[in-house]
Amino acid sequence: MQLPATVADLHLTLYNNLGQVVRQVSPSAGATNVAIEANGLSTGVYLLRAMSGTDAVSTQRVVLN
């Protein structure tokens, strides 16, 4: 995921199709890209949400084949 440079205190959460949290990442300050490990995840559709504090910055659908 490409990160907006102006967002501070960013947290990324990956949810499965049941709404369960399967991964959480807090990129270091100033990071512009982040990779989330898919090891151990089943194929399917996931929701990736980027949050800054309590504000949603971005929400994306992720498909794992």
Answer with the residue of higher pLDDT: 44 or 1. Answer: 44
pTM (two decimals): 0.82
pLDDT at residue 10 in the model: 84
pLDDT at residue 1 in the model: 63
HEC profile for 14-52?
Answer: EECCCCCEEEEECCCCCCCECCCCCCCCCCEEEEEEEEE
pLDDT at residue 44 in the model: 97
Give tens-digit pLDDT for 3-60. Answer: 666 667 889 999 999 999 999 998 877 777 888 999 999 999 999 998 888 888 889 9
Would you list the domain boundaries of the chain?
10-64
